[in-house]
Chains A and B, each alone.
Chain A
Amino acid sequence: MEIFGLPLQAFLGQLLLGLVNGSFYAMLSLGLAVIFGLLGIVNFAHGALYMVGAYVAWFSLEKFGLNYWVALVLAPLIVGAVGVVIERTLLRHLYRIDPIYGLLLTFGLALIAEGLFRREFGVSGQSYPVPELLQGSTDLGFMILPNYRAWVVFASLVVCLGTWFTIERTRLGATLRAGTENPNLVQAFGINVPLMVMLTYAAGAGLAALAGVLAAPVIQVNPLMGSNLIIIVFAVVVIGGMGSILGSILTGIGLGLIEGLTKVFYPEASSIVVFVIMAIVLMVRPAGLFGKEA
């Protein structure tokens, strides 16, 4: 059986690979969506935080012998702490002014972080081994899937759904959403809104770091890994609808699949297909597929 002139098995294999990449897009765009939705900050430092997360994993293995599973917890905590510092010292001054300033500030931070890491580690990058438990691969019949990639899909789905559930379906999430709608009123109920905002940014940063650790064994850990990805992730968020959490998850996965198929049928276009879709979506639905019309 053939689909678009491609044997069914190869087609399924490519879809699965698209799903793996889509999982990364989903996780990264999720953090962006949370930060934008609750803080109104377009966090251009997201790619850099993702890169730092991967480096924390590499560094803790190389220097302290801490394994992957420790890094999976440690990196989000460390990068989350970095997020706290960024929010407390820089971002908090920008909430009341034009969002463009937040964008410029975080973009600057990303360039600085990237430059420092490039100076220290070079651009060729460092190899991070696949953890022992997840080494090897499984023969699915239509393709050989490395176990680690399967784990990436699983982990990212759990994290995405967990975040969505927390924000949309729990009391904590309700408070968070209320805090962004009307901070003064929520404050009047005795809730510490600035603290809440700070922790939200930290959580977003932690999500980026977690994605970084997940990516470390798959691609070479290098200072440019964030900037290679961040533009696509932004496109995902824009297509999904700025600030829409479910939107960014679904769009992330969907675009991963579409990009994966483009790599087969017209590989030269695989780096722009996401942006073509973005342009079309913006023309038809300026608020994004899942965004609320303003």
Chain B
Amino acid sequence: MMFKKLVPAATIAAATVFGMVPAAQAQFSGDVIKIGFISDLSGLYADIDGPAGAEAIKMAIADFGGTVAGKKIEVLVADHQNKPDVAAAKAREWFDTQGLDMLIGGTNSGTALAAAKVAQEKKKPYLSVGAATSALTNEQCSPYTVHYAYDTTALAKGTGNAVVKAGGKSWYFLTADYAFGSQLQNDTTTVVKAAGGNVVGSVRHPLSASDFSSFLLQAQSSKAQILGLANAGGDTINSIKAANEFGITKTMKLAGLLMFINDVHSLGLKATQGMYLTDSWYWNRDAETRAWSRKFFEKFKRMPSSLQAADYSAALQYLNAVKAAGTDDADKVLAQMKKAKINDVYAKGGWIRDDGSMIHDMYLMQVKSPDKSVEPWDYYNIVETFKGEAAWTTKAESKCALWK
């Protein structure tokens, strides 16, 4: 039988090959450390992360001099076009054929949930930066997922609480109709109710909707005090613009549940002043962030968003862990990452919890009025800092099996 002959032959061949590999090299798979980055590079989220996020990762590699433990560092970049199937297929291709060591996930929760599944199957680290959905560290938590920058729970706790405290008791949601939007709406609803507010209704709009006036009118007729915008990027921008145009802002207060500095920049301070928002980072926070941001500004002529700073940090901390562990073995590197404190321009005293959340301070900020802004991109006042675990899911709330 052909088969009977083949099996011993293959066993001998395999033994010979593996037996010949010198012990020192077995620490690393291949001669390069490959970092992948999948994000929206061309659609409505491309400014808040996108190509500049890829460049931020390259800045971290440059800080390492292009090598770690004597191995060259490479970056692979792909556009998922906000399609989960594209993200999953690309991740699979890179892990299978490119020897990818670690994947950084950009914006869009749908794509992140899909890519996280692939990384878990391949047992490789997945550092999710741009996606907001708290499902990544809750129902769908994985030992290989690190949720690095922010999540819908943190956003809800920050902005939701602040707005209810300021008197905004009744809410209506304008929600992007996919994983992220509904998660953000759910998380905020929980916070609002716990703080003594109530939710009177919601309307779901398709991603990249071209016109929001109809949805806004429905919101207005609900007579709620607060319009919670459970959307992001271009959708948030166009919602706020139309809300101003239709005079919705006269009868309702807007709460942008996920707003980035690029959105504020695009709309201008006149249309956004006074709005509360929660973010994980602000370029104008302290001397260190300012110095790093000015370097970034020279390249892109705009200040970094929190996501771009987090992209940089995620790559930097991964490389630190590879260096400290002396290997690119996924489990060992992740163990090292979870052991070390994260201290860089993005986070101070950050640490990775068992559910995969990277725990760090979050900031409640208020958009300045035009006359208070002293320079371009000087947009926020930090109203409140949520220290350590204050902003994140508690153990009691968590549905993650790894953190019980």
Pick from B46, B204, B217, B238: contact of A123, CB under 8 Å? B46
B114 within 8 A of A: no
- Tell me if A124 and B237 are in contact (CB < 8 A): yes
Q: A130-170: which have CB < 8 Å to B?
A: 130, 137, 143-144, 146, 148-149
Q: How large is the interface on B (under 10, 10 to 19, 20 to 34, 35 or more residues)?
A: 35 or more
| Interface 0/1 of B213-228, CB less than 8 Å to A | 1110110010000000
A180 within 8 A of B: no
Contacts of B265 in A (CB 8 A): 124
Contacts of B233 in A (CB 8 A): 123-124
Pick from A13, A229, A260, A267: contact of B204, CB under 8 Å? A267
- Tell me if A260 and B206 are in contact (CB < 8 A): no
Contacts of A267 in B (CB 8 A): 177, 203-205, 215
Contacts of A271 in B (CB 8 A): 206, 209
The total number of A-B Cβ pairs within 8 Å is: 105
B349 within 8 A of A: no
- Tell me if A270 and B205 are in contact (CB < 8 A): yes
- Tell me if A224 and B246 are in contact (CB < 8 A): no
Pick from A148, A225, A270: contact of B206, CB under 8 Å? A270
| Interface 0/1 of B101-132, CB less than 8 Å to A | 00000000000000000000000000000000
- Tell me if A14 and B214 are in contact (CB < 8 A): yes
A244 within 8 A of B: no
A10 within 8 A of B: yes
- Tell me if A124 and B47 are in contact (CB < 8 A): yes
B159 within 8 A of A: no
B268 within 8 A of A: yes
Known contacts A124-B234, A220-B238, A271-B206: A118-B46 contact under CB 8 Å: yes
- Tell me if A148 and B245 are in contact (CB < 8 A): yes
Q: Name the residue of chain B whose CB is nearest to the CB of A13.
A: B217
Q: B32-67: which have CB < 8 Å to A?
A: 42-48, 50
In the complex, besides A17-B211, A220-B266, A263-B215, 20 extra interface pairs with C-beta distance below 8 angstroms are A7-B221, A10-B218, A10-B221, A17-B213, A17-B217, A123-B45, A125-B234, A125-B266, A127-B241, A127-B271, A130-B245, A146-B246, A149-B245, A218-B242, A219-B210, A219-B241, A229-B210, A232-B210, A268-B204, A268-B206
- A residues contacting B by CB (< 8 A) are 7, 10, 13-14, 17-18, 20-21, 115, 118, 122-127, 130, 137, 143-144, 146, 148-149, 218-220, 222, 224-225, 228-229, 232, 260, 263-264, 267-268, 270-271
- B residues contacting A by CB (< 8 A) are 42-48, 50, 177, 203-206, 208-211, 213-215, 217-218, 221, 233-234, 237-238, 241-242, 245-247, 262-263, 265-268, 271, 302
Q: List 24 A-B contacts (CB under 8 A).
A: A14-B217, A17-B214, A20-B211, A20-B213, A21-B211, A122-B262, A123-B42, A123-B44, A123-B234, A125-B237, A127-B267, A127-B268, A146-B246, A148-B245, A218-B245, A219-B238, A220-B238, A220-B266, A224-B208, A263-B215, A267-B177, A267-B203, A267-B215, A268-B206
